[in-house]
Amino acid sequence: MIFSNTSKHTIASILVNGEKKEIMVRSADTLLTSLRDSLGLTGAKLACGNGDCGACTVLVNGKPMHSCLVLTVEAVHQEITTIEGLQHSPMPKAFVDHWAIQCGYCTPGFIVNSHALVTAHPEATEDQIEEWLSSNLCRCTGYKEINEAVKSVLQKKQK
């Protein structure tokens, strides 16, 4: 909900990680900027700034989105989940267990995207995993460990 409008800023109410937050935003502020600068949620990273790399991936109503491309005002009335909201998901531990972390810059985006994949497709095929992971880029790995982490969570879900 948008509460008030000043000449340059608006007070917006957004739902992040299950909590309602009120923040001051400009009409041009991206969700990534608001998450990091206004709310201190620094897991999503600014890398390319144009939606190509996935380092800024968050969930909007359960679907992965590049938060550098979403305006904060578009997130009003949406449910936002960041890496910080996934502490009870098995995916972060799977990434650690399978050494899928490398330098760590892209890791939060991969974890968020992978969490969404196993939630949407609990019996995902190799092709689906490859397709979903293609929306995130990593310069430090060949994706083998990331793929293994995702598969390990899928296997546990299928038991």
Last residue of a domain, one of 55, 83, 111: 83
pLDDT for position 7 = 61
Q: Are residues 40 and 95 in the same domain?
A: no
The whole model's pTM is what?
A: 0.92
pLDDT at 157: 81
* One domain, residues 36 and 58: yes
Distance CA 114, CA 151 (A): 10
Taking each helix axis as running N to C, give the angle between helix 144-158 and helix 107-120, from 0 to 180 degrees, rounded to the nearest 10: 30
Q: Are 100 and 63 within one domain? A: no
Question: Which of 49, 83, 117 represents a domain boundary (last residue)?
Answer: 83
pLDDT of residue 2: 52
Give the total number of structural domains in the chain. Answer: 2
Walk along the chain (159 residues) in steps of 10 and give the mean pLDDT of each run: 62 95 94 97 95 96 97 95 97 96 92 98 96 92 92 89
At 76-98, the pLDDT tens digits run 999 999 999 999 999 999 999 99
In this prediction, residue 83 carries a pLDDT of 98
Indicate if 106 and 56 belong to the same structural domain.
Answer: no
Let me know whether 25 and 58 are in one domain: yes
Domain that holds residue 132: 89-158
Q: Domain holding 43: CATH number?
A: 3.10.20.30
